Amino acid sequence: MAIATGFETKLTISGEESSFGNAETGGFFEVGQKSSSLSLAFENINVERIRGDRNAENILKGTESVSGDITVDLAPDDMHNIMIVSVLCDADDADESGTGSTYIPQSTQRSYNIVHQLDGTIDGAGEYQVFRGCQFNSMSLTVGATGTIETTFSVLGQTMVQATAHPGSGVTDATASERIPFTSDDATVSFNSADNGFVTDFSLTIDNGMSAIYTVGDNKPIEGHLGKSTVTGSMTVLFDSDAEYARFVDRSETAINLTIGSVATGVKFEMPRCVLTSGTTEAASDGAVTAAFEFTALFDDSATHAIRFDNHL
């Protein structure tokens, strides 16, 4: 038997589960991923008894849960948009049709089946891990001066079963255009609606703070509770002027927008009210002077959100 390699793997996601943890058998959609690390974990319960041989009496299986990450190069991909909207817990469906939509943090929790094929003929017989009750807990993206825009989604799930065939009735593969990722050339960062051409790197994180919750009589977690929605980020700016650093010193709020791409396939993250929480200037004799900042997005009463995602510019 040959050892499985990465090019034999495939990651697919079902439509939204009809109920939390349900085994979905309908159509699945391929995720344009670059890596993933999903795992099933059990609580180990040590059985204690005094023994003359000093060994453990037994180890019992306790509660179980699924956790891990899916990393993608962000692309004009419907599945990437659905994963972002799921992190936001917005009630609307992510859809590239028509004029598109905007999404803000809400409280509608979505869960999915995620299937990881580990080897064998793609979409045929092989080894499959089927993760059920999977929710997208957080996402973080990084935009550098060059390269693609790497984005990592954190997954919290209920359970996993093994299979020798894909459980879905069909798999919709990503198209060639969906496989072409955005690059740093496609991104623009603006402060108070003014393009800042001196940002050398930018990161953004949205975190729901979910954790596994258990009830008496069941070793599987119930649907994960939503914690506080936090929107944070960081950036490094070439020190062209002290305008950005003055915002940090004065504790003045600023709107920060990240736009990636344009028109129907473009996306935008809008944060109308941000506070720079730290600022550091760095200088060396043989390099440019830079200012590194961290920021937190706050809820804006007039805009009714802390962050808004637009998947159709």
Per residue in 112-162, pLDDT (tens digit) is 999 999 876 667 778 999 999 999 999 999 999 999 999 999 999 999 999
Number of domains in the chain: 1
For residue 294, tell me if it sits in a domain.
Answer: yes
Written as six digits, the tokens of 103 are 């999404």
- Are the beta carbons of 301 and 280 closer than 8 angstroms? no
User: Which structural domain range is residue 23 located in?
Assistant: 6-44+62-310
For residue 52, tell me if it sits in a domain.
Answer: no
pLDDT class for 3, splitting at 50, 70, 90? low
Cα distance between residue 174 and residue 122, in whole Å: 14
For residue 49, tell me if it sits in a domain.
Answer: no
Lowest mean pLDDT among 199-213, 232-246, 249-263: 232-246
Residue 257: per-residue pLDDT? 96
For residue 79, tell me if it sits in a domain.
Answer: yes
For residue 168, tell me if it sits in a domain.
Answer: yes
- Are the beta carbons of 206 and 87 closer than 8 angstroms? yes
Output the average pLDDT for the chain: 89
pLDDT for 279 beyond 90: no
For residue 244, tell me if it sits in a domain.
Answer: yes
For residue 50, tell me if it sits in a domain.
Answer: no
**Which pTM value belongs to this model?**
0.91
For residue 54, tell me if it sits in a domain.
Answer: no
Q: What is the pLDDT of residues 9-58, one digit of tens each?
A: 899 999 999 999 999 999 999 998 999 999 999 999 989 888 888 888 89
